[in-house]
Amino acid sequence: MKNLISTFYILFFTVSILAQNNVREVLTLEKNWKFTKGDLKNAQDISFDDSKWETVVVPHDWAIKGPFDKEIDKQMVAIVQNGEKVPTEKTGRTGALPYIGVGWYRNEFSLPNFNKDKKVILLFEGAMSEPEIFLNGKKIGSRNYGYSYFYFDITEHILANKKNTLAVKLTNKGLSSRWYPGAGLYRNVRIITKNKESIKQWGTFITTPIVTKELAKINVKTKVLGEGLTLVTKILDAQGSLITTNKTSSIYGNEFEQNIAVNNPNLWSPETPYLYTSISQVYKGTILKDEISTRFGIRSIKYEAEKGFSLNGEITKFKGVCLHHDLGPIGAAVNKSAIRRQLRILKDMGVNAIRSAHNMPSLEQLELSDEMGFLFLAESFDEWAKPKVENGYHRFFEEDAEKDIVNLVHATRNHPSIVMWSSGNEVPDQWGSDGAKRAKWLQDIFHREDPTRPVTVGMDQVKATMASGFGALLDIPGLNYRTHLYEEAYESFPQGLILGSETASTVSSRGIYKFPVIEAKMKQYDDFQSSSYDLEACSWSNIPDEDSVLQDDKPWVIGEFVWTGFDYLGETTPYDTKWPSRSSYFGINDLAGLPKDRYYLYRSRWNTKEETLHMLPHWNWEGREGEITPVFVYTSYDSAELFVNGKSMGIQKKNNSSPKNRYRLMWMDVKYEPGTIKVVAFDDEGKVASEKEIKTAGKPYKLILESDQKTLKANGKDLAFVTVSVVDKNGIPCPTATNQLKFKVKGDGMFRAASNGDATSLEMFHVPTMKLFSGKLVVLVQSDEEQGEIDLTVSGKGLKTAKINISTKKY
């Protein structure tokens, strides 16, 4: 009988530090940064003249403005993950953007409330990469991993009542990544001023040993600095009303421990992401010394052999996607509104889980996952001791892996969304006993720092991990692809369950269809696009339907994380030897965030609350008259009838004759003739439930603008994503339009970027002109700090100009 996986029950808190009662102040260094590229001498000195440097706002990605250049990071390599044995020239593998080199950032700050009783922490949430930190001309420390969070106590280096000069040197080497890593201070930099007697940075850890609908027992461990202190913890509900208060002076070493009861708790889940607030106050006698405010969610998780994963006592499958950290046209620079838009799109698709692949997630991504209801698999590394790329993380693994994991866990362990850790992805260390020992060492570190969550690794060398014991020792065996080995792995490994840690890797280009319509691996075309019939994959991967069967039929398969939710910069398979090609084809949504056809294939399975009825391809095929042009329908209904210009092509019904037939309705013998195709879907009783039609469009006539937001926060960083499409005189979308458009923004905002989702486009994102791709593109408009109105005008030669108004408000 299979061994049972340990049961994990936990309540997690999302910590946001507030400045209250002058006991704690947080200064986020966003504005007035000076930046330049180049390996400069003495750039850290206070007297160094940076007046001619570029002034930027952090988070900042110095490389995203381009230009694209095939010579950047051109590599002669054999990609082992792709099964290659002979090196070939790779271009665009890291996005063909100028991220390589040394960059310097400088800023000044003052701390008017600083005195000898204060402690000052300098916190970095991510710096790409190998940061060296200088304060007032002195080096205070360094790190190596560009995705890690880290901080320094800079109290002794602060100049009281004077300006302090902060300088950061970043070094990005070539051959250091397998995708576009971004460049610069791409996540937030904060200065925390507090009393010396205070809560330690990331010192709060909260679990719930007991969670029922009637009662939650909250265990709060709080590490503090100082002696003779008292801790008061207050629990508030979502409306801000006080539920209970707990006070203790009992301390063990430097750690308080409290057990607090919450009656009739609202449990956190993807369907109901209810968040409470905890306020922790540290007193010295009657004097308040420190205070932090914490949002948290109460929930329990459990992993069992044969049964799978349970959330709050209910079996739950991971309907997940993998996400790289870049945000398309704005690059790696963190932007909360851009992440929120991604999660909204995924939520509509029915996604309930995210894997941060293959990097430590941003805190903003975790905060939004808590708020919006996404389970989260937080990943750490893409390399251990053995290299994938010449200048990868393997250079630092032995020295840094433990401290990087400790910081990952301490900084994020209080998020209710995180339900699993990953210590690595497709590491070459999967072979042999040394790799198994490293896997156990890393897993033990995670367990030591957080005994409440299991650990996985994304394994692609499944046979090797069977032989070495690597896969058997993991809490959760994660299989990347290898659908043909699921049964064997399940029988071989003792855990009694399997996670699809990375699945599908189907490739497609939005709105592009190729003929004949057949399944293919590593298929290439002259235009460097992939067919959106969703039948093309890589040599190691597969179409979505093959994973869907395993997810639906095997209770011991606990879910999947599809590669990927959105296209990302770099990793241009199957065109990584071709130019121009500078971004991926794997995304369910393209680089602009526009859904590909595959979006609706997944939605038809995963979004069980809403109807899905989607038909492909488009119906503009001049020159293909009379030729076979198959029609596919992705729908939540089991059967439908197709009509071409009113003539029935017959009824198709989902069946188990093949994975494709189980999840798609396909009319393979349709011949193209201009006009209208219509699908009529039937419910379980055979009655008409829904209809949809696609018409052949005429020439492009006018532009249509649609914004995802009508109102933005007037904070200088909130974004509206405006979808631009073109229609003919009758209002029919023109799916093949490639018109060059221009964008103009007036009022209380600015043009930030544009993207059309074309992986071969070399147009720069930040220039206010771009071609449509498959009839669409997206314009990003950013608010400024003044409340008012933003007007976006989009124009194109021979097209009727379109305008849209977006309001901005102070909140």
Q: CA torsion angle for 123, 129, 133, 137 (degrees, to 10)?
A: -150
Q: Are 526 and 465 in contact (CB under 8 A)?
A: no
Question: Distance (Å, rounded) from C-alpha 225 to C-alpha 233?
Answer: 17
Question: Which of these is catalytic: 291, 367, 383, 426?
Answer: 426
Is 502 labeled as catalytic in the residue annotation? Answer: yes
Strand ranges (E), 305-440: 308-311, 314-315, 318-323, 353-356, 375-379, 418-425
Q: What is the 3-state secondary structure (H, E, C) of 641-703?
A: EEEECCEEEEEEECCCCCHHHHHCEEECCCECCCCEEEEEEECCCCCEEEEEEEECCCCCCEE
Task: Fill in the DSSP letter of residue 395.
Answer: G
Residues in a beta bridge with 727: 702, 733
Of the residues 125, 304, 379, 502, which is catalytic? 502
**Any idea what DSSP says for residue 345?**
H
Bridging pattern class, strands 189-195 and 242-248 = unpaired
Number of other CB atoms surrounding residue 99 within 10 Å: 30
Q: Cβ distance 556 to 317 under 8 Å? A: no
Distance CA 672, CA 10 (A): 57
Q: What is the DSSP letter of 360?
A: P
Determine the Cα–Cα distance for residues 759 and 637; give it in Å rounded to an integer: 33
Whole-number Å distance between alpha carbons of 14 and 414:
5
- 791's CB contacts (< 8 A; 6+ apart) are 745, 746, 747, 803, 804, 805
Is position 364 annotated as part of the catalytic site? no
- Residue 463 host element (H or E): helix 462-468
The burial class, CB within 10 Å (0-12 / 13-18 / 19+), for 433 is exposed
CA distance 534 to 516: 13
C-alpha dihedral (27, 32, 37, 42), degrees to nearest 10: -80
Determine how many CB atoms are found less than 10 A away from the CB of residue 248. Answer: 16
Q: Record the tokens describing residue 390, joined without a space.
A: 């010449």
Q: Distance (Å, rounded) from C-alpha 202 to C-alpha 543? A: 42
CA distances from 252 to 221, 232, 255, 257, 682 (A): 10, 16, 5, 8, 66
In 3D space, the residue among 329, 315, 326 whose CA is nearest the CA of residue 356 turns out to be: 326
Q: Which two tokens stand for residue 304?
A: 């069992």
Going by C-alpha positions, the residue among 265, 290, 250 that lies closest to residue 213 is 265
Residues labelled catalytic: 426, 502
